[in-house]
Structure 1
Amino acid sequence: MFDVLTPLAHAAGDLALSHFGNLSQAAISAKGPLDLVTEADRAVEALIVAGLRAAFPQDGILGEEGGMLPGTSDRIWVIDPIDGTFNFVRGGRQWAVSIGLWQAGVPVAGIIHAPALGLTLAGGADHAPTLNGRVLPPLTTYQPDRAVVGVALGRAMPVAGRIGTLRYLAGDAGVLFRCCNASTIALLELATGEVDGHVGCGESAWDVMAAWPILLALGATSTLDWHQTPLDAKLRYVIGKPALVEAIASLGAPMV
């Protein structure tokens, strides 16, 4: 599988890099407030879809920009061609190509390639998690006296809820938080030990599908039950080191 995914993710990253810093205003449009899409997103997704269709013709594909392409198997590839498009447009390096595999109701494998950072995270249930080809160690023990989590606060959650999440983290939980506006990068930071967990509010499946099985293979737990979660749901969850997830699990209550 990864003999296909790795070169495909790198080719997609190279294509994205060819657009990075060279986009005209005409190549950028808005899907909603502070929610951008570019011609690069569409071109990268088309490249990935073509590669997956050629290698796995029986599988379905769900892309952020193109929607669902049905298949005949119980597998669906979930794609975010450029996660962190806002950063991409503004010239920031925190963006990535994300390709995840959902099978029989759960994420099972994924690859995240962040070409501007020179990082490739890959792995899953049957593939040891690696960063740039080096096997990653399991997540370390949670230390509350130096706790930090990534946060993603999407517009699907009302403003009051977003503010309440940050207030709880900084106050009741006593946890520092950081937001990079790219879920793939935030979850990559969890895999490498830069943060202890991630709080997601209002994200979509394509934001997290690639990283999810990698993090579970590293020893993370979460509040999200994928068997009860449709692929088109807006997600609210906590994922990370088990003791951290237990301490702030209330933030992972399903969105209503």
Structure 2
Amino acid sequence: MDTERNGAIAPEHTIKSAVENIARQAGEIALDYFRSRSRVLVEQKGHLDLVTKVDREIEEFLTVRLRKEFPNDGIYGEEGGDIPGDSGRIWVIDPIDGTFNYVRGSENWAISIGLYENSQPVFGVIYAPVRDLMLSGGEAIETELNGKPLPNLPPFEPSLASVGIGLHPSIATEDCLEVLRYISDELRISFRCCGSATISLLEVAMGHTDGYLSLGDSTWDVMAALPILKNLGLSHTIDWSNHTDLQTKLRFACGNEDFLVSVRPLLASVGGNVVCKDI
């Protein structure tokens, strides 16, 4: 990963430090609103899909800071931000992943900043302010949680396994039911649905779950987490070479190879890696 800062190649540790600092500052802004959320203005963006004044403010903050730190890079944000760059790199940001949780007072939300280069996620920072968890890593940058390296994750053991799931409201009911049936009847493992892809993937990194299965997540939901998890020996089923449009919904799984083998028949039956434009 060759990332420029003010026109020059920046050392990887400088990139990591700079983006973590930006994420932490954004988290402090979001946390201030969270503690007084009765005053937060909430609008309905879609069925069970909320956007707040805070989402837009955090995205604007992240955009300004990233543009200052990496002026040649593009920026793509969930709330509509799309700033072109000339470096070939794009910072893909989700200002608050888990907005529904945020406005209801749950701790399951996070700020996600991922770097997209050569049609691949290459680096990411996730900050969960309520839990004070900072997760980062990527190409040539060791995965760390709050500054401490994370070990590779243990093998997939079905008798002890748990999987996180994300099912977007736009997904057909029969596909959602098939996911639940397959996990319960075929794999016979437990599952969790916390309402935030970023938090679900953070829990995979921490070893709380063994993998993540999603129908309908967006690119900004996963851009930061996937390169972080790659360093821990995990992979995913997304073929990024066919998904260059960042305005997409993804159907995929993430975990170690044994887990991916176990869920590939399910993904085949529900259109895994079939991508449709956001509506």
* Bin for the TM-score computed over the shorter chain: over 0.9
Q: Alignment partner for residue 241 of structure 1, among 256, 260, 264?
A: 256
Between 1:36-45 and 1:65-74, the stretch displaced more is 65-74
Kindly report which structure 2 residues correspond to 1:118-197, keeping only aligned pairs within 5 A, or say none.
Answer: 118-197=132-211
**8 Å CA contact 1:156, 1:234 repeated in 2:** no
1:34 aligns with 48
Within 2, Cα distance between the matches of 1:48 and 1:25?
Answer: 22
Between 1:245-254 and 1:234-243, the stretch displaced more is 245-254
Deviations 1:185-243 (A, max 9, x none): 10000001111100011010110100010111110021111111132221000110210
1:45 aligns with 59
2:116 aligns with 102
Q: What is the identity, as a one-letter code, of the residue corresponding to 1:232? A: Q
Q: Alignment partner for residue 73 of structure 1, among 69, 87, 95?
A: 87
2:10 aligns with none
What stretches of structure 1 move > 2 A for 4+ residues in a row?
A: 23-26
2:273 aligns with 254
Deviations 1:32-78 (A, max 9, x none): 01110111111111110000000111111110002311111110000
Task: Name the SS of the counterpart of 2:126 in structure 1.
Answer: strand
Aligned-pair CA distance for 1:140: 1.0
2:231 aligns with 217
Deviations 1:100-139 (A, max 9, x none): 0000100000000001011111001210000000000011
Within 2, Cα distance between the matches of 1:141 and 1:163?
Answer: 27
Q: What is the percent sequence identity of the aligned residues?
A: 45
Q: Alignment partner for residue 232 of structure 1, among 247, 259, 263?
A: 247
Q: Alignment partner for residue 31 of structure 2, among 1, 9, 17?
A: 17
Task: Name the SS of the counterpart of 2:50 in structure 1.
Answer: strand
Unpaired runs of at least 5, structure 1: none
Within 1, Cα distance between the matches of 2:54 and 2:236?
Answer: 33
Q: What is the identity, as a one-letter code, of the residue corresponding to 1:42? A: R
Count of residues in correspondence between the two structures: 256
Within 2, Cα distance between the matches of 1:26 and 1:176?
Answer: 35
Aligned-pair CA distance for 1:24: 4.1
Within 1, Cα distance between the matches of 2:139 and 2:265?
Answer: 27
Within 2, Cα distance between the matches of 1:191 and 1:21?
Answer: 27
CA shift in 2, pair 1:123/1:206, >3 Å: same
**8 Å CA contact 1:237, 1:251 repeated in 2:** no
**8 Å CA contact 1:21, 1:89 repeated in 2:** no
Q: What is the identity, as a one-letter code, of the residue corresponding to 2:148? A: R
Within 1, Cα distance between the matches of 2:229 and 2:265?
Answer: 20
Between 1:107-116 and 1:135-144, the stretch displaced more is 135-144
Aligned-CA RMSD value: 1.2
Q: Alignment partner for residue 61 of structure 1, among 54, 75, 84?
A: 75
Q: Alignment partner for residue 98 of structure 2, among 84, 97, 107?
A: 84
**Normalised TM-score (structure 2):** 0.89
Q: What is the identity, as a one-letter code, of the residue corresponding to 2:258? A: A
